[in-house]
Structures are given as C-alpha cells and as structure tokens.
Amino acid sequence: MSTTETTYVIPEKRVVTTKPRFSDKVFRGVVTGGGLTSLVVLGLIFGFLLYQGYDIFKSQGLGFITTSRWDVTFDDAGNIISSDFGLSAMLIGTIICSFIAVLIAVPISVATALYLSFYAPPAIKKFMVTVIDLMAAFPSILFGIWAYAILMPTGAYWAKLLNKYFGFIPVFSNEQQVFDSSPFIASLILVIMIIPIVTSISREIFSQAPLDRIQAAYALGATRWAMIRAVVIPHGRSGVIGGAMLGLGRAMGETVAVYTVLNLVFAINWKILFGVGGNVASLILLKFGEATPYEIKALMAAGLVLFILTLIVNFSADLLVRSFGGKGK
Amino acid sequence: MIPSSVPTDYSSVKPNKPWQASSKDRAITAGIFALSVLISSVSVKLTGFSGKLGFFASFVIIFIVITASREYLRFGNALAKDTFVNTLVAVGAFITVIPIVSIIYTVVSRGYKGLYPGLFYRDMSLNAPNDPLNVGGLGHAIIGTLLLVFVALIISVPIGILTALYLTEIKGKLSRPIRFLVQAMSGVPSIVAGLFIFSAILLPITKDNSSLLGSLALAILMVPTVARTAEEVLNLIPNDLREAGVALGGTQWRTVAMIVVPAAKSGLITAVILGVARIAGETAPVLLLAGGGDKFNYNPTSGPMGSLPYYIWRSFGAGSEEAIARAWTGLFVLLLIVFALFAAARFLGNRKVGK
C-alpha cells in the first residue's frame, strides 16, 4: 500500500459574466468618441459661423437673403459709415446653375449607368468604371482651368446656337449677345463634375436590382430594355433621385471651378445664356482677399447660408437613398 | 446507316453560340456605322447643321434610325425599341468619356512644355510667374502639398477609422444618426470648411496663416471619405472572424485590434489613399488659410506655405503666356500625383480582403 496522498485543490468557480472588462469599456468609449466627431465638427461649424456672422444677421435681418447688394461706405479715416449686404442674386445664381447642371447630368449619368450595368462588354465596362472613378478624384482646380481654356469657347458656341434657334423663349434670350462666363457655361462644368458621382450611385442602385426578377423577366422572353423598364427602373427610381440630390449638393458647394468661368455680378439674372451670374461660394473666394474685418463677418454669414443650404439638400438625398434604395418593389 | 450530311468527324464542327454576335452581324454593324458616318459628313457639308456638334448629332440620329428600322423589319417592335435604347445609353456613356479624355489630353499637351529638372527642386522666391519657363520651379509647392496632406492625414485617419469602427463593431443606437452626419459632413463645401477654421482658430487665436490651419480644414474634408470607405471595407470582414476571436476568450478590444483591423489592412490603406486623393488638389481652403509661400518652408506651424493648388492658382491669375504655361505644368504634376494615388488605391483595393 504505497499510495501517495495527493491533495486536490478545487479551483474556485469561474465567474461567468456579461459585464464588459475595463479594456472594453475604454475601447467602446474611445470609438464612440471618435464616432461622434462628425456631430461635434458640424455643430462647431454651425456655431462659429453663426457667432461670427451674428452681427450681420442682426443688422440686415431677412434682407440678407432677399435683397441683392454688397456696399460698404467708408469715411476718410477708414471707418465704416454704412454697409449693406444681400445675397439674393448669389443664392438664385447658385440654385439656377446647380439645377441646370443636375437636369443635364442625370439623364447622361443614368444612361451611362444602364450601359455599364446591362449592355457593356466586360472589357469596356472595366475600363469605363476605372475612368469614371478616376474622374471623381480629379481636383476642382483642374476642372476650373480646363473649363476656362477649353469648355468656355465651345460652351459659348453652343449657347449662341441655343440663342439663335430658341431665343424666343425668355430664358434663352440674350439681347447683349454676351455669351462668355454665363451661368450656362458654369452649369456645363458642374455637369462634368457631378456625372461621376451620380453615375456611380446609380450603378450601385441598379446592381442591387433583384436578380431573380431580372432572370424571370428574361425567362419570359423580355428584351433587355423590357427587363430594365419592368424591373430595374421601378426598383431604382428613388435611389437615382437621391443620387441626383447628392450631385445637387456637390454642385451648390463647388467653388474654384465655378469661380474661373462665371462673371459674378450683383444682379438677379434669369437669362442663363447671358454672361452675368451669381454664386455664393465663388463670392466668398472673390471678396475674401481684400475684405475688411466687417466684410469678413458678412462672408461668414454667407458661408453659413451656403452650409445650411447644402445640409438640407444632403439630408434629403440621404433620406431618399436610404429609405428606398435597397428595397425592391 | 448514317446520313451523309451528318459529319462523322466532330473536331471540325464549331459549337453554335446564338447569344454572341456572329462575324456577319459585326460586319453589318460596321457597315451601318460607316454608312452613318458617310451620310452625316455629307449632311454636314450640305446643310446648315454644321460643325462637330452637328456631325455628332446627325450621326447619332442616322445610326439610331438605320439600326432600329433594320431590327424592326427583322424582328418587330420590341427588338427595335431595345436597339434604340442600346444605342442611346452607349451614346450617354460616350458623352461621359469625352470630357475626361479632353482634360487629360489638354493637361499633358500643354503641361509638358514647362517640365525641366530644376522644376522639382527650385522655388519661386526669386522669380515671378511671368519669367521664362526655364527658371524657378515648384519644389516648394510639392513640399508644401506633402506637408499639408501629411498633417491632415495624421488628424483625420484616426477619426475616420474610429467612426467606421463605431459603425461596424459597436453598432450602437447612434449608428444611424452618425451615418447621417458623416454623409452630411461629406457634403460640406470646401470653402465653408476653410471659413470655419478661419473663424474658429485663425481670427481669435493665431491671427496668422500657417499650413497647420490648412491641414485642419483639409482634415474636415477627408474624414468622411476615409470613414465611408473604411466602413465598407470593415463590413466585408466575415463575422466568423469576430466570433472566433470572442470565442477564444478575447475581449472586444483584442478582437478588433488583433483580428479585424489586420484582416482589413489593405482595404483601410485604400480608404486613406482615396481620402488623400480627395484633398491633394483642394484649392479654396488652402487659399484662405495656408497663405501662399513662394519659397521652401518646412515648418507647418508658422509662415505662409506654398502648395501645388496655390502655385497653379497664382500662375493662372498672372495671365501672361509663360504664367499660363506654368499653371498647366503645375496641373500636369498634380494630375500625376492623383494618378499615382489612384493606381495605388486600385492595386491595394483589388487584392483580396483578409490577406
């Protein structure tokens, strides 16, 4: 009988818990903090621009967005005697240019997206997707200077044609025959800049079209166009509208490219072919260099108006894309 | 008894592929194409419908009419409509490609004249933009852009990736609003970002230009791009990996840091590169905040800093023939940088996630 006594130590029962460890709490805190940065930044932008522009909103009231002027009068000592700021021509110019741009860009983008999704041979598709993505990464100064050198003469020629054949419509009339630097040309460069955005969003939405329905349509003997009309378009309509609104937001905030081709004048101009236009972002860039401190406040207020405008457009775009984009009907 | 018409040697028989265009179809399409070119060039010569635009329009109309009516005669209405739409969307795609080809062609053909070795290591401190093209350079502008982008990168990459991690790993109650806000932030116009930094930091605190302020504004523009691309990449990481990490007793922190992020590494680098491409040529905030330097400046915290967009902007504004040529050369260099970044992002993005 030589059994050695072994003592068994029974380990304590492990505590099983769903309570997160300390490291996890820190991790979650840091990540949540990082995630909230966008909220903080947007809030700060709003707050600081409002703080700096408050004097202007107070003195100009609603006139800041309903009138059209930019006058500062100084006395001999350089003090400001009177000042008047109003943005209506710039706001209307911004809205006209970006709406025309979206009107032209959306049909082209949707056609391109349809071609790439359903018609193009694989090699062409791969090449064009790369090219369009590359175009989305081009800096705006490149578009701006190209537009000034190449697009302006061509665009002015097209504008002359439009004026010649459709001049009886008030929007296309142009008594002064000045075609350079018109809102029409600014719209054309915006078209080129937003086509890649709208195309890639439309392509994404079309690619989510339910495959079983596509195949069912083909199996019933549908041609490609019949399939697109019956399946893809009902599925993608609201998503494409959302993508168009994203393009609209981008077009409204574009600065440098519009600045190089548009002749900024403080007068509301509905004749899109006439070389007089307005644009809030370009106005800020134009006035900023020689602005007095008081004018800078007015520019901050203008920036706030632009910020709110793009925010509204982007939010509604996001709502449209998210609430309808992924669902089939 | 095998009928003599059926071949016994099947190696010479090619399979039918009715869904592919046969060589006869291709020849007919090419013929119609040539015919349309011919008719439209004649019409451009003879009628008032002239110029490149007139040629393009009449060519498209004639081509559509011929192909659609041929299909109508052969197969009827449905096929004719299909052919019509096919041509129309192809024309749309063609219109999309024209400007980009024109842009690249213009930049290369006008920009290469100003290239010479000194361009890359000289600055403009002793030269005006109107000087001949063989003096001065944009070395300072390249350094400036690199510094601007690098500082913006340091600020925005952690924020962007943390935002993406919140959206994919924590998926808290705030996911939806944060996704909304990131979307809204990507729509902030660049000039507004510049004005914000100007009003929040430059006016009350520093009172002077520096490239650090420019980088802050660029960071605002870069965060949403990084966050959205990184979110897409992290969503591609299979959930099995996360479950495996937690099942082995890892905390969430260890799982994310040791498994999820390394697995998504190349995708995250792509996200960063796309963000850099977004801001490398950004002009408006740089003009407002970084000032414009014409000589080498290696200090981001003080003094005006040159940058490629500023160099292009200033040369373009100077107006003389040499200055415009300088601007095109600057654009050429900027385009090369964007190309390189884009190619790098493509290369990394095409590799399989998880390696």
Q: Is A20 on the interface with B (CB under 8 A)?
A: yes
Confidence of residue A329 (pLDDT cuts 50, 70, 90): very low
- Burial (0-12, 13-18, 19+ Cβ within 10 Å), B203: middle
CA distances from B211 to A166, B285, B291, B304, B330 (A): 50, 10, 8, 7, 19
Rounded CA separation B321/B306 (Å): 22
How many other C-beta atoms can be found within 10 angstroms of the C-beta atom of residue B176? 12
Closest partner CB to B199 (pick from A49, A128, A226): A49
Q: Which pLDDT belongs to residue A110?
A: 94
Report yes or no: A161 and B117 within 8 Å, Cβ to Cβ. no
CB contact under 8 A, B195 and A49: yes
Q: Is A214 on the interface with B (CB under 8 A)?
A: no
Q: Mean per-residue pLDDT for B141-167? A: 92
Closest CA to B313 of B330, B297, B296: B330
Chain A neighbours among B 12-41 (CB < 8 Å)? none
Question: Lowest-pLDDT range, A36-45, A100-109, B39-48, B248-257?
Answer: B39-48
Closest CA to A140 of A266, A243, A285, A242: A285
Closest CA to A182 of A93, A247, A284: A93
pLDDT, tens digit, for every residue of B81-138? 888 898 899 999 999 999 999 999 999 999 888 888 878 888 877 777 777 777 778 8
Say which residues have a Cβ less than 8 Å from residue A298's Cβ, sequence separation at least 6: A53, A56, A70, A83, A85
Which residue in chain B is spatially nearest to A198 when comparing CA positions? B96
pLDDT, tens digit, for every residue of A224-280? 899 999 999 888 888 888 889 888 988 998 888 898 888 888 888 888 888 888 888
Chain A neighbours among B 187-226 (CB < 8 Å)? 187-193, 195-196, 198-200, 203, 220, 223-224
Closest partner CB to A306 (pick from B180, B192, B203): B192
CA triple B74-B76-B80, angle to 5 deg: 90
Q: Phi then psi for B160, rounded to 5 degrees?
A: -60, -45
Chain B neighbours among A 277-316 (CB < 8 Å)? 281, 284-285, 288, 296, 299-300, 303, 306-307, 310-311, 313-315
pTM: 0.87
pLDDT, tens digit, for every residue of B256-298? 999 999 988 888 888 888 888 888 888 888 888 887 777 788 8
CA triple A168-A171-A172, angle to 5 deg: 55
Residues of A in contact with B19 (CB under 8 A): none
Closest partner CB to B159 (pick from A37, A48, A306): A37
Which residue in chain B is spatially nearest to A308 when comparing CA positions? B188
pLDDT, tens digit, for every residue of B211-257? 889 999 999 999 999 999 899 889 888 999 999 998 998 888 899 99
Q: Is B96 on the interface with A (CB under 8 A)?
A: yes
Q: Mean per-residue pLDDT for B149-175? A: 91
CB contact under 8 A, B191 and A253: yes
- Characterise B291 by phi-psi region: left (phi > 0), alpha (psi -120 to 50), beta (else): left
Q: Which pLDDT belongs to residue A237?
A: 84
Of A204 and A190, the structure prediction assigns the larger pLDDT to A190
Closest CA to B138 of B334, B350, B275, B336: B334
Report chain B's terminal Cα–Cα distance, integer Å: 61
Residues of B in contact with A138 (CB under 8 A): 103, 281, 335, 338
The ipTM assigned to this model is 0.84
Rounded CA separation A308/A304 (Å): 6
Q: Mean per-residue pLDDT for A145-166? A: 87
Rounded CA separation A293/B207 (Å): 12
CA distances from A250 to A102, A246, B17 (A): 10, 6, 46
Chain B: nearest CA to A4, how far in angstroms?
Answer: 37
Q: Is B169 on the interface with A (CB under 8 A)?
A: yes
